[in-house]
Structure 1
């Protein structure tokens, strides 16, 4: 597939895209249907459908010449955009540093945006340096805050008590006494701040037993990995004035004339220990109706008493509300007024992830670490495994928020710590990437690419937590094929709308009921605690495994949803869902239950796994419990498992899948085969992205839930499209699929038929298998290093490493295998070239013609039409990893990592040292076979 130039995309789109309007039912809802392409075409490629990357600006030591060079490199290898992220710099280059937001820095930013625009690329900007948001413009009173509570005992004869901070450390430069609470012998608590004279409590009441003092403290956290000019305190995300002052500093610096970049970006919430703000108690009482200061014993205890849990839940909800209102929504509104989008990672915050993701234009999730896939031949080093594997259900919080708030793009910070530095291959990246696609991601950001000037030798400037796909990487020239795979897939996953049947309620109040601690950070790294044990997780996973497509919905989203033709719409631009599922929950607010029943009243079908056990919080507890009891009794579900309710229906069922079948809400049959999928709809057509992450070949008819009569298979690896073998089976279209372990395919179901598209070549049962035997000569590219090895001649296929050549063992770059073989050609057959092992990516030429590239498991390539009778010439260019060259540098004590702050660490955040590594296999190994298939 050849992608059209960006210069012609708008013209092509305007010609191809046809818009029609249809009427849907009695409510005359108008739905725009875009027939984006005919069945012989892929969707139009835009800069968003290409992969983007985080672009680390080390020390902001950037200049126009290198920016032009690098952006041109990025565009040529298939990147669609960059996200500028200034961080600390490399030592020895301080004279090149630009102060963040200085006139020189802004001038270079404008040049970058202009150059990217010329190339058809996009630019996003981290609104700060390093992370989290903060900097020199953050005054101490606006810095991240924490609540400090200290207790003072009294003796029976004590007359005076001086209230002074106890155990204050150097980070706690500021401790402002806000309130003093008296605890009396009869158990009464009341505020006695008014009795203070300065910081001295005089005329102590005789029945006063102890005193609790509440201080406004500061976390002392400063911007992590800050770039020059970006050093300073992290601001208070819960305090609107602090947020506004920070945003105003950008208005003043740019004079409100921002360059034409796309979006402001905010990284994951890593504001550690920030659990308070100056007006928190007032906000709490206004929202919750009681004085938290008088509940300090319950707030501080960790023994799980009911009252303590309720107080903590209220406290966490107020933090959530302040974070969303004062930071996320406030920031998004500010950006929108300036013509910018916002891109935000909600995870790690103390709030409702769905609502925080949903408050921005582009929700962004993150993959951290590597997953286990039982794909034969897939390398996974046990030393590189993090504490918790990436989980697609965690990723679905971001995609669900986008789907339910009517946003199309779902981005992902991809491949963070996929493995140890310099050891990650495309074949390892693909299943991890496919898993993010299956979770609803359609806008990949590499983590990442570091700006590295042309005069810095191998390995260039590198960021310690990055995959380090830069121009020094030996895989660089082979990256376009990987990027084209992403582009084709994302062009499909950005088309149309999601097609998810079910909404599953996420009971955040159960998470907020954690009896331990104060603030509940909902992070990627602790899903084994807050996510995996829950019934919500178990039911969601079970439904997905059965073949249902789901989105998660929050209390707030439920409150804004309505019902159209019996289906639930959470937003005007969102797809409608067939039902709402309520898993077993411990705590559900009265208002949420009222809103759920209102949806049923208006025609929706609601399935409860169980009656919600209780309501959260302390405010009006008994009256709200009574209201819930009356409301539930009114449903009729106390005596029946299924009732009509208004225009809709309520079901109470432990077996949710059975109830769905009863309601004729059927799953896709895809999952019965072991395949995983995600689907999109465009009018009456559907796109399915299907992946085989099992350990076996899956070759069989697979049932797709569609009314369409035809199916076209689309291979995102090479762009080929073919008409699938299919047959109607009642409500399903049974489509023949043949997917080896690790393979993925896109299926378009449609009523369209095209004479331009031939039948799909399934290549199921080879009628011949021939191994290629050759006297192989291996030559090496002089662009690799540290030294160019001498040519090797080997009698049978083998890697170029561990052959007794030290230079070859240390070499990172490209080695080319040259050979010839005799072949008995049958022109009536099609042929594939199959490799046992490729370390790590191979481009193949047969008889001087480029055949293609193999970089993912299984390593195979269609070579039909390239073979000749008799003697055939084959050339295979293999790119290996950077690891062996890095090993050489460390063995020989050649300095290459010399950065400020954290410098460069390994996957365990310890000093990096590759000198003890084994040689990474490089080149080809095992067999190369030609398999023949009858047409």
Structure 2
């Protein structure tokens, strides 16, 4: 019996080990060949729109060849007046011609295996000529009226269409508005000030609208306005796909309805929800007072509820009814909350500053707590401005900062449609990177997108793992909100100072933001919650937090515990409840699990109460990580976000005794060891660290020492495509030559190399080394870029003996060519490509006729920075031998 038991246990262990081996092998296979739906997408701007079916097909093919998995169609402003002679004709938005182009694009996308999303409007926010004045974005504004001494009436200003008075206050008393011409008052001997509150329209027009899409922005708080938009625009767009493949998703950009603060039935909805008449308290929306914060809290909460119920929910339902999904950036004005993201199929963020609050982490946090597996971000919005300045490395630098916030679907911003015959590099968006195939360095794009695809795919494995949650002070934002800027997310950063986000990251933790709605829904599953200097908190959420603490959760309070609750009508009861819970945290049995600290001590305290997920020695704030919990282990994405190398050691939670480095650029892997793991990252380098049972035994990565084999700094045959001027040898910029200063394109460097047989006999690697980089000054953080003086500007493709060796566009600026070299004579070819910036610097463009025809719909950004950039191989090239330190030591002995 004992022998049978032993045999059974052995068989069971073998089955488990085989299962583990299978899981690990499957994960590695998914890394090597990531799913197509993890490929990055592009926002595709149709200018005018003036598009032809032939060019649409060509650009879709170019996107696919570049490694993109799909696109989002965004019709925007015209870049040319109609010019039939050159084939440029602006088809009005939603015209039959436009819809035919949309349908043709859908058919080509389907045949090409490309995802197609469509913006549910033109430009942003939604609106257009179908929006009547009664459905336009609405506001509440205050007008000051002087009442002279002895005056018996107050004359009211003339109202514009869509406006009407909703309240008149004199000496703090609300006066009846019997008509809109004048109001009788009792005369006094003193001059006084009356305040008229007018409900009207913001007058905002759709930004960057296509031809025929001009008009008012819709009232996002009006059911009728949203329904009319879906009927006039949504249904019309969907008619292009009748009988065909529906778009994968319909898209809504961030809500940027400036001044939106009202809707026609707000007084009725407010009284129904809050229990009192808002019109009696209108002054509180604009000025401080005894009841001001409570009234503003109620007003803001009502706006938030209406944008959820009347904008997000019906559009998501409409999308599903039409066989598609709703992808939305759920932040802005009027004010959605973090939990509003739960109302859309595909939440999306925006913003690369991973060490402070931004809308990317807002979206990814919601995706994590509400269990959305895929969350996208609008990426490269302001990358290395002006347009055309961005490099492949710039793309990686910003994308990594989105990955570090939990993004696993990149939506690039973007790809500019450009008609044939337009002078190179063609059309471009007024702001953001120009990342289409008119960019000279586009031939390396497949390498860039393959990297992005691999990381995106791996960040969909398992589940996001964060020990810390940071409570968003939404209630305080509600109480401080004003009609001029009714946004929750825009007020968050200042409320999370002194940089609580950075403190948490520096304590070796990742985190999710969370809000009251998510906590009431039972989504607080983290180990520790940070409350950042709150005055108000939702009482029901606070009770859920207290119960969570009783079950072992820990709270770290920055500053002081909250002492107030809800709005005006329930202020006393809700505040009493909040104060009771706060006292319980300080005095009760749970006080050991609640710590109140100075705001700038959050990070140091966090290190003492929670074991770091990743512990670095020495510490480097440029090091970032994301953790994913897998069925059989853990997966980390780590990145150096700075321009200097990182050399440190790290301990990782989930270390199961064996880790592997997976390189998402090269597709290679090496052993990482266990315990105190050595971490070496070149500037802006990133890796995946995988702890999964069943990994194959592979050699550990050894420290490398480079030794020169051949000096290749001279002897190159150098030729620029399409010009007669001869570029310099490696080590100098071709832009230094006046004849090539404004040249954008490619330069080919060719030479023969005689490699000694002995160099190939040694079992080490031979690398082409393009030289070192150096950091640049840290400037203009709102325009992300690689702050490096790079040796290759801006990318290179290498061939050895007629075979592709790879591309060079990121540190450490070396390429393994061991397998392609042979003893004796070898031919090396390096094709270096710069950006289109140099050529554009010599060619200012006039928009005179365009603006006379359509008005000024855009202003190109950062044109003062339009100047030639260094180009080519800026350092000497060397063939080097890479050997481990141990190997070099042995050879010396």
Q: Does 1:934 align with 2:883?
A: yes
In the other structure, the counterpart of 1:409 is: 374
User: 2-side partners of 1:851 and 1:82: how far apart?
Assistant: 30
In the other structure, the counterpart of 1:374 is: none
CA 1:901–1:83: 2 relative to 1, 3 Å:
farther
In the other structure, the counterpart of 1:598 is: 547
In the other structure, the counterpart of 2:768 is: 833
In the other structure, the counterpart of 2:689 is: 747
Is the CA contact 1:47–1:122 (under 8 Å) kept in the aligned structure 2?
A: no
Q: Does 1:134 align with 2:127?
A: yes
Of 312, 321, 333, the match for 1:337: 321
In the other structure, the counterpart of 1:615 is: 565
User: 1-side partners of 2:320 and 2:632: how far apart?
Assistant: 34
Q: Secondary structure at the match of 1:810?
A: coil
CA 1:664–1:423: 2 relative to 1, 3 Å:
closer
CA 1:101–1:602: 2 relative to 1, 3 Å:
farther
User: 2-side partners of 1:99 and 1:636: how far apart?
Assistant: 62
User: 2-side partners of 1:834 and 1:306: how far apart?
Assistant: 70
In the other structure, the counterpart of 1:689 is: 637
User: 2-side partners of 1:918 and 1:276: how far apart?
Assistant: 46
CA 1:435–1:252: 2 relative to 1, 3 Å:
closer
Q: Secondary structure at the match of 2:480?
A: coil
Of 136, 142, 148, the match for 1:149: 142
Aligned residue runs from structure 1 range 581-660, under 5 A = 581-601=530-550, 604-609=553-558, 610-633=560-583, 635=584, 637-638=586-587, 642-643=591-592, 650=594, 652=596
Of 275, 281, 300, the match for 1:289: 275
In the other structure, the counterpart of 2:468 is: 502
User: Residue 263 of structure 1: CA displacement?
Assistant: 0.9
User: Residue 629 of structure 1: CA displacement?
Assistant: 2.6
Aligned residue runs from structure 1 range 565-584, under 5 A = 568-569=524-525, 577-584=526-533
Q: Could you tell which deviates more after superposition, 358-367 or 88-97?
A: 88-97
Is the CA contact 1:393–1:541 (under 8 Å) kept in the aligned structure 2?
A: no
User: Residue 656 of structure 1: CA displacement?
Assistant: 5.3
User: 1-side partners of 2:380 and 2:848: how far apart?
Assistant: 23
Is the CA contact 2:533–2:561 (under 8 Å) kept in the aligned structure 1?
A: yes
Q: Deviations over 1:125-177 (max 9, x none)?
A: 11111111001221110011111333556567655555443xx7xxx543223
Unaligned stretches of 5+ residues in structure 2: 1-15, 17-21, 772-790, 885-893
User: Residue 317 of structure 1: CA displacement?
Assistant: 2.2
CA 1:751–1:252: 2 relative to 1, 3 Å:
closer
Q: Could you tell which deviates more after superposition, 88-97 or 881-890?
A: 88-97
Q: Deviations over 1:492-533 (max 9, x none)?
A: 11222211122111112233343776533356xxx6xx3444
User: 1-side partners of 2:304 and 2:831: how far apart?
Assistant: 54
Q: Does 1:880 align with 2:845?
A: no
Q: Secondary structure at the match of 1:765?
A: strand
User: Residue 435 of structure 1: CA displacement?
Assistant: 1.1
In the other structure, the counterpart of 1:809 is: 741
In the other structure, the counterpart of 1:774 is: 714
User: 2-side partners of 1:212 and 1:629: how far apart?
Assistant: 37
Is the CA contact 1:367–1:390 (under 8 Å) kept in the aligned structure 2?
A: no
CA 1:819–1:536: 2 relative to 1, 3 Å:
same
Q: Does 1:275 align with 2:207?
A: no
Q: Does 1:547 align with 2:515?
A: no
CA 1:64–1:695: 2 relative to 1, 3 Å:
closer
Q: Deviations over 1:420-476 (max 9, x none)?
A: 222221222322221111111221122111111233331222221131222221122
Q: Secondary structure at the match of 1:920?
A: coil
User: 1-side partners of 2:481 and 2:411: how far apart?
Assistant: 37
User: 2-side partners of 1:310 and 1:394: how far apart?
Assistant: 26
CA 1:401–1:769: 2 relative to 1, 3 Å:
farther
Of 214, 217, 223, the match for 1:234: 217
User: 1-side partners of 2:461 and 2:32: how far apart?
Assistant: 7
Aligned residue runs from structure 1 range 171-320, under 5 A = 172-177=160-165, 179-181=166-168, 183=170, 189-190=173-174, 192-193=176-177, 196=178, 199-201=181-183, 212-250=195-233, 252-253=235-236, 259-301=245-287, 304-320=288-304
Q: Does 1:854 align with 2:808?
A: yes
Of 733, 751, 754, the match for 1:799: 733
User: Residue 721 of structure 1: CA displacement?
Assistant: 2.2
Q: Could you tell which deviates more after superposition, 338-347 or 877-886?
A: 338-347
User: Residue 639 of structure 1: CA displacement?
Assistant: 6.1
Q: Deviations over 1:391-441 (max 9, x none)?
A: 575521111011111112222222123222222212223222211111112
User: Residue 894 of structure 1: CA displacement?
Assistant: 8.8
User: Residue 898 of structure 1: CA displacement?
Assistant: 5.2
Is the CA contact 1:39–1:754 (under 8 Å) kept in the aligned structure 2?
A: no
In the other structure, the counterpart of 2:70 is: 81
CA 1:148–1:934: 2 relative to 1, 3 Å:
closer
Is the CA contact 2:74–2:122 (under 8 Å) kept in the aligned structure 1?
A: yes
Aligned residues: 826
Is the CA contact 1:148–1:215 (under 8 Å) kept in the aligned structure 2?
A: yes
Q: Secondary structure at the match of 1:594?
A: helix
User: 2-side partners of 1:65 and 1:406: how far apart?
Assistant: 41
Aligned residue runs from structure 1 range 332-411, under 5 A = 332-367=316-351, 391=356, 393-411=358-376
User: 1-side partners of 2:357 and 2:448: how far apart?
Assistant: 21
Give the TM-score taking structure 1 as reference length.
0.81
Is the CA contact 1:43–1:492 (under 8 Å) kept in the aligned structure 2?
A: no
Higher helix share: 2
Q: Does 1:556 align with 2:488?
A: no
User: 1-side partners of 2:766 and 2:378: how far apart?
Assistant: 38
Aligned residue runs from structure 1 range 888-907, under 5 A = 888-890=842-844, 900-902=854-856, 905-907=859-861
Is the CA contact 1:464–1:903 (under 8 Å) kept in the aligned structure 2?
A: no
CA 1:777–1:522: 2 relative to 1, 3 Å:
farther
Unaligned stretches of 5+ residues in structure 1: 1-21, 23-32, 372-388, 563-567, 570-576, 644-648, 728-732, 783-787
CA 1:45–1:668: 2 relative to 1, 3 Å:
same
Q: Secondary structure at the match of 1:753?
A: coil
In the other structure, the counterpart of 1:90 is: 79
User: 2-side partners of 1:599 and 1:43: how far apart?
Assistant: 42
Is the CA contact 1:161–1:200 (under 8 Å) kept in the aligned structure 2?
A: yes
Q: Deviations over 1:168-227 (max 9, x none)?
A: 7xxx543223x344546xx6x34524xx25745469799998764432211111211211
